[in-house]
Amino acid sequence: MGEIVKTEMFDDILNMIYSAKKKAEFQVNSTVIDLYWNIGEYVSNKAESDGWGKSTVKALSDYILSKEPGIRGYSSQNIWRMKQFYETYKDHPELSTLLRENTWSNNMHIVSKTKDYQEKKFYLELASKEKYQARELARQIDSGYYERILLSNGKAPSALEPKKISGVLRDMYMLEFLDLPEPYKEFDLKKAILRNMKKFLLEFGRDFLFVGEEYHVQVGNNDYYVDLLFYHRELQCLVAIDLKIDDFKPEYMGKMDFYLEALDRDVKKPHENPSVGMILCKNADTDVVEYSLSRSLSQTMISEYKTKLISKDVLREKLAELYNIAEEESENSQQR
CA 159 to chain centre: 23
Residue 332 forms part of a structural domain: no
The predicted model gives 313-324 an average pLDDT of: 76
Q: What is the pLDDT of residue 149?
A: 81
Looking at every residue in the chain, the average pLDDT score rounds to: 85
What is the rounded distance in angstroms from the CA atom of residue 14 to the CA atom of residue 20? 10
Q: What is the pLDDT of residue 131?
A: 87
Residue 152 forms part of a structural domain: no
Q: What is the pLDDT of residues 265-318, one digit of tens each?
A: 999 999 999 999 999 999 888 788 877 877 676 788 888 898 888 777 788 887
Q: What is the pLDDT of residues 43-56, one digit of tens each?
A: 999 999 999 999 99
84 & 201 share domain: no
| Percent of the chain residues past pLDDT 90, beyond the cut | 57
Question: Any residues with CB less than 8 A from the CB of 281 and at least 6 apart, and which?
Answer: 244, 245, 246, 247, 248, 252, 302, 303, 304, 305
Residue 228 forms part of a structural domain: yes
> Dihedral through CA 247, CA 250, CA 251, CA 252, nearest 10?
60
142 & 11 share domain: yes
CATH number of the domain residue 286 falls in: 3.40.1350.10
Q: What is the pLDDT of residues 73-132, one digit of tens each?
A: 999 999 999 999 999 999 999 999 999 999 999 999 999 999 899 999 999 999 998 889
Q: What is the domain count for the chain?
A: 2
176 & 220 share domain: yes
296 & 195 share domain: yes
Q: What is the pLDDT of residues 160-191, one digit of tens each?
A: 343 344 457 788 899 999 999 888 999 999 99
Domain that holds residue 93: 2-146
